[in-house]
Structure 1
Amino acid sequence: MKASIEWDGEQRFRARSESGHEILMDGDRGKTGPSPMETVLMAAGSCSSVDVVGILEKARQAVTGCRVELSAKRAEGPPSVFTEIHMHFIVTGEDVGEHHVERAVRLSADKYCSVSIMLGHSVKVSHSSEVRATGP
């Protein structure tokens, strides 16, 4: 895997992935794009969400939505690394089993999500979930 980062003026940096995708990041408190640390947090949530949805689909759960709300704490001084990350999954669908969602979140956390597992070597990562029925 490869990527490149190019300075785009001020504190903006354009990140390009080997697959041809681009993200604009902003080191000036996220004025014009997410900061690099926000991008790391979003990557952890995205990676876990891919796993959770995939596992639920394989379990034949009628998932219509998946949202993960992330909260993180950072160290006081430089380097201001993450010290804690919490991921709260909200899964919607018809008759989605809560035990299926809990299992999917656990499998992502323990086995599949390379981003959060990597972060978990130095950050306290926790998870929670809830199921919401879709309908009128």
Structure 2
Amino acid sequence: MTNHITTNWMGNMAFESNNPSDHKFIMDAGAEDGGEGKGFRPKALMLSSLAGCSGLDVASLIKKMKLEVDKFHIETIANLTEEHPKFYDKVKVEYHFYGSNLDEKKLQRAVDLSVEKYCGVMEMFRKFAKVTTQTIFHKS
């Protein structure tokens, strides 16, 4: 399967990019880098892609396993190297689950399946960064 993305320059430092879903989004540099900050930063989008990829896996498994979860969010914290080309060399992904009846063992299994087996973006990140994960349960 091939993905084909078209990214058009919109002037100055801004670009508009499409997606196979046919949605579009804007990327732009911050004022400190000559842009106007009117869009997403490309490197930060990589972190959103990582969280989104794994999150979709976990959400699917929550549904399949019929687990009770009130809220779920992912925090992605990354270290950017100092020298050019700057890249993420360390990434921590935190999975936060909220609820009064959390099945911690099954939720951890869902996270592990995403991290170890299903999430292709996670696998790509492992090619250039040390990736660590943590699961945090917030019982209400």
| TM-score, normalisation: structure 1 | 0.91
Alignment of 1:44-123 (within 5 A): 44-123=50-129
Output the CA distance in 1 between the equivalents of 2:125 and 2:12: 29
Point out where structure 1 has 5 or more consecutive residues left out of the alignment. Answer: none
Letter in 2 for 1:79: P
1:27 CA drift (Å) = 2.6
SS at match of 2:6: strand
Point out where structure 2 has 5 or more consecutive residues left out of the alignment. Answer: none
CA RMSD of superposed structures (Å): 1.5
Q: Which residue of 2 is the match for residue 39 of structure 1?
A: 45
Q: Which residue of 2 is the match for residue 4 of structure 1?
A: 6
Q: Does 1:15 align with 2:21?
A: no
Query: CA contact under 8 A between 1:87 and 1:126: conserved in structure 2?
Result: yes
Percentage of pairs with the same residue: 25
Runs of 4+ residues over 3 Å off in structure 1: none
Q: Does 1:125 align with 2:127?
A: no
Q: Which residue of 2 is the match for residue 27 of structure 1?
A: 29
Output the CA distance in 2 between the equivalents of 1:54 and 1:92: 17
1:34 CA drift (Å) = 1.6
Bigger share in strand: 1
Number of residue pairs the alignment of both structures matches:
134
